[in-house]
Chain A
Amino acid sequence: MPGNVTAAVRPVPHHEPQAPREREEKMLDHVVPAIRATVVTLVLTGLLYPLVMTGVAKVLFPQRAEGSFVTDGSGKVVGSELVAQGFANPGYFQPRPSAAGEKGYDPLASAGSNLGPTSKKLRDRAAGALEKLQKENPDAPGPAPVELVTASGSGLDPHVSPAAALWQIPRVAKARGVAPERVRSLVEDSTEGRDLGILGEPRVNVLQLNLALDRRLGAPPPAPPAAPAQAPSATTDSKG
C-alpha cells in the first residue's frame, strides 16, 4: 500500500476534502511503518545527529568540547575550569560545600544534598560547617556568607560570590604571609560580572583564582594535617 513517494511530495492541504478511502485502516497497517519509523528516527536523531555534532564541535571548539580543562604553570592539567575541586589548604580559597560523592566534589556522582527546609540534618550540617569556618577564619569581616555553608545543586559549583571570596582574604593572606591587599587585587581581577551585564550573578571561579594566586605568589606552604572536610550526605539517584 505505501511506497510510491515520488508523486507524494506534497500532502493534500486540509481544506480540500480528500478522496474517500478505499477501505478501513487496520491496526496492523501501522505496524510496518512504526517499525521503519523507529529505525529511521533512531539512526537520524540518535546516531547521525550526535556523532556529526561531535565531529563539528571538535573542529570548531576543541577545548570546550573536551571539557574546558586548565593547566598549572608547568603545563599539567589540574582540573576543569567548570568543575569544582576540594581545597583544604588555608592558603587557597575554598569552594562551597559539596554533596557530590562521599567526600564531595566527585564528578562521578553530581548531586545536591536534597535536604529539605525543615531538615534537622541540614541545620546540624550547616551549624557544623559554620563552626569550622569561624575557627579557620578568625579575622574574617562579619558573618559568613550563606553560600559557604550551603551545598550547591550540582556539588560541582565552580564559583563563589565575590562576597564569599572577599570574606576569605584574611585567612589566605595570613597563610601565605602576604599583605591582604595583594590577595584582594587578585580576587578583584578574577571577579566575573553578570553575562551581558544583566544575566546571572557576579562570581569568582575558585580554581582559576587559586591558579592565579600560585602564579603570582607561588604555592602556599603545606597545611598542617587537618581532618578531611565533612561532606554533606548525598543522594545520587533521581533527576533532582
Chain B
Amino acid sequence: MTVNGWIQIGLFALVIFAITKPFGIYMYRVFEGEQQPLPRLFGPLERVLYRLCGVDPRKEQEWKGYTAAMLIFSFFGVLVTYGIERLQHVLPLNPQKLAAVPADLAFNTAVSFTTNTNWQNYGGESTMSYLTQMAGLAWHNFTSAAVGIGIALALARGLTRQSGPSGPKTLGSFWVDLIRSIVYVLLPISIVGTLVLVALGVPQTLSAYRELTTLEGLKQVVALGPVASQEVIKELGTNGGGFFNANSAHPFENPTPLTNFIEMVLIFSIPAALTYTYGRMARDTRQGWAIFAAMAVLFLAGIAVAYKYEAGRNPALATLALNHAPGNMEGKEVRFGIANSALWATVTTDTSCGAVNSMHDSFTPLGGLVPLLNIQLGEVIFGGVGAGLYAMLVMVVLTVFIAGLMVGRTPEYLGKKIEGKEMKLAMLYVLIFPLIILVLSAWASVAPYGTSSLNNAGPHGLSEIMYAYSSQAGNNGSAFAGLSGNTRFWNITGGFDMLIGRFLMIVPAVAIGGSMIGKKVVPAGPGTFPTTGATFTVLLIGVILIVGALTFFPALSLGPLLEHFAALSGKVF
C-alpha cells in the first residue's frame, strides 16, 4: 500500500460525499418536486414522451399496479432484445457480419440486461453487432436503471407519505418515474459524459474494425464501435456490461486514470445521492445520512481489505525471483495500479454495477473475497441505482424490528408501525437471495456439466461457481471470469438466477411500500427507537453483516478462506 494510493481512495470518497447533497436535492426536485428543475430544457421532451407513450402523468398507481406496469414493461424488454440478438445478422449496423446469437446465449443476455445485471457469457467484440450493442443492450442500461430508481421511489413513498388509513394508497406512477429518470438524470449526464470520455480516448464510431500491420509486420485487427456512449451509461446506471470482453480493463473503454476516476464516480453518484433524496422524502435528512453512514463504513472496510491483500504478492508467484513491489499485477493494468484496481473492484460490487477494470478471478484469496462478500451482503453498500436504496430500506425495516424486540416496544419507523405483514415480506426478500444462490451453486458444483466450465482447480473453482450465481442473483454481473459460462446449463440456470434475483425481490420490496402507505402516523414518543444517529447506524451495519455474512459463511469457508490458508502453506492446485 502506498500513501498515493490512499490519497486517491480518499479523494474518491470525498468527491462522492460532496456530490451526495446537491445531486440528491436535484433528484428530489425531479421526482417529488412540484416543479421539475430546468423546465425549459427538459420539460418539452418529458411531455412529448408522455404523449408518445400514451400515459397520463397525473395518474398514480397502487403497489400492485406499479409492480404490474414494471413487470410488463420488463417482459417486452426481454422479448425485444432477444429478437434483436437473434436477427442481428439481417439487421443493419453489423459491419463485421457477425452471426445471429445462439438461442440460449441470447436468452441469458436479454434477461441479463433487462434485470440490470449485465452478466456476459460472450465477448462483445466477437459476438454483438453495433446495433445489438446500442439498441439491444445499451437501451436497457437506461431503462433497467430507471426501473431501479422507480422501485426505490415507490418503496420510499410507501414509508414516507403520510396519507393515513383513509387516504390514497398510490406509490407514484411507474411511467412518470421511468421517463423522468431518463430525461432529467440518465440522458443528460450520459451526453456530457460521452463527450468527455471521447476527448480522453474512448472510441465512438460506426466504422468497421480496423485491420493494420504492426511495427514488427504482424497483422492486427482492432475492434472498434460506439463505445463511449455505452461506457458512460453502463457506469452511471450501475449496469456494467462491457462493450468488449475485457470490460473497463480494456484501454478503449477506460484509457486513462482520469477516465477511470470519472467512471468510478459515475457508478457511485446516483446510489449515494438517492440516500439524500430519501432523507428529503422522509422530511428529515438525518434519516438519509444514517443510511449513508452505514454504507460508507462498509465501503471503507471493503476497500481497506481489498487494497491490503492486492498490494501484497500473488501467492502463486511469491517464490519466484521477481521484483514484487508493485503487488499482485496478474489481471491488472499498469495505468491503474493496485489502488485503483482494488478500489474499482470494491465500488463495482458494493453497487450492482459489475463492470471491472481488473480480473477478480486473479485477485488474492482475501482480496477476491471482498467483491464476493459485497455482492452477498445484498449490494446495499450504496448499491445499484435504486436497487441499493430499496435493498437498504428492507434492511432498515429489519433493523427497526430487531431494535423493537430488544427494547420490548412495538417497532415503528418514521412514525408507522412495523407489523407481521411487513416482517414476512422483509424476510421473504432476505431469504430468496441466499436460497437461490446456494441451491444453484450446490447443483453446479456436483454436476459434471457444471464443473466442466471451471478455469481453476481446488477451492478457487468453488469460488468461481459461487461468484457466478451470487453475481447473477445480485444483478451485479462481474465474474470470476475464468468460468466458461456460455454453455446451455450455465446460460439457462443463470438466466433464471437473474430473473428471480431481480423480480422476486422487487415484488416484496414494493409490497412493503404498499403495506406501509396507509398506516396511521403516530408522533415519536419517549419509547420510540431513533432511526438516526450513530447507535442506529451501528445496529444497521450489524444486521447487514449478520444476515449476509452468516448466511454465506459456511460456503465462503470452503472457497476463499480455504484457499487463503492453502496459499499460506504454498500450495497450488
Contact = CB atoms under 8 A, between A and B. Distances in A.
B60 A18 contact: yes
B415 interface: no
B571 A118 contact: yes
B402 interface: no
B498 interface: no
A176 B361 CA distance: 40
A126 B228 contact: no
Nearest to A239: B120
A32 interface: yes
Interface stretch (B18-26, B350-358, B390-398): B350-358
B530 interface: no
Contacts of A150: 314, 317, 329-332
A77 B207 CA distance: 16
B187 interface: yes
Contacts of B460: 116-119
Contacts, number: 502
Interface in A107-152: 107-120, 122-123, 126-127, 130, 142-147, 149-152
A29 to B, nearest CB: 8
B199 interface: yes
B16 interface: no
Interface in A183-225: 194-196, 198-201, 203, 207, 210-211, 214
The range of chain A's interface size is 35 or more
B251 A50 contact: no
B486 A108 contact: no
A173 interface: no
A40 B47 CA distance: 13
A111 B484 CA distance: 13
A180 interface: no
Contact of B204 (A65, A69, A127, A203): A65
Contacts of B571: 118
A195 B55 contact: no
A11 interface: yes
Chain B interface residue count: which class?
Answer: 35 or more
A65 B334 contact: no
A49 to B, nearest CB: 6
Interface string A37-74: 11011101111011101101110110011111100100
A64, A83, A237: residue with the most chain B Cβ atoms closer than 10 Å:
A237
A75 interface: no
A122 B220 contact: no
Interface string A80-111: 10111111110010001000100001111111
Contacts of B69: 30, 33-34
Interface in A220-234: none
A161 interface: yes
A146 B170 contact: no
Interface in B139-171: 139, 141-143, 157, 161, 163, 167-168, 170
B324 interface: yes
Contacts of A195: 256-258, 261
A118 B246 CA distance: 22
Given A36-B54, A116-B456, A118-B571, A108 B65 contact: no
B332 A152 contact: yes
Contact of A116 (B322, B355, B361): B361
Given A38-B73, A49-B229, A145-B326, A239 B163 contact: no
Interface in B455-480: 455-460, 463, 477-480
B535 interface: no
Nearest to A69: B210
A127 B336 CA distance: 25
A26 to B, nearest CB: 9
A118 B80 contact: no
A48 B168 CA distance: 38
Contact of B198 (A60, A130, A164): A60
B246 A17 contact: no
* The 7 residue pairs across chains A and B that have the minimum distance between CB atoms: A200-B257, A46-B139, A114-B482, A153-B249, A240-B481, A46-B135, A110-B246
10 contacts: A17-B168, A36-B54, A67-B224, A83-B220, A107-B222, A109-B125, A114-B361, A117-B365, A198-B8, A200-B256
Given A112-B331, A116-B368, A237-B245, 12 more contacts: A11-B57, A17-B168, A31-B72, A37-B55, A45-B182, A60-B199, A66-B203, A150-B331, A152-B249, A153-B359, A156-B250, A235-B482
Interface of A: 1-5, 8-15, 17-18, 20, 25, 27, 30-38, 40-42, 44-47, 49-51, 53-54, 56-58, 60-61, 64-69, 72, 76-80, 82-89, 92, 96, 100, 105-120, 122-123, 126-127, 130, 142-147, 149-161, 163-164, 194-196, 198-201, 203, 207, 210-211, 214, 235-240
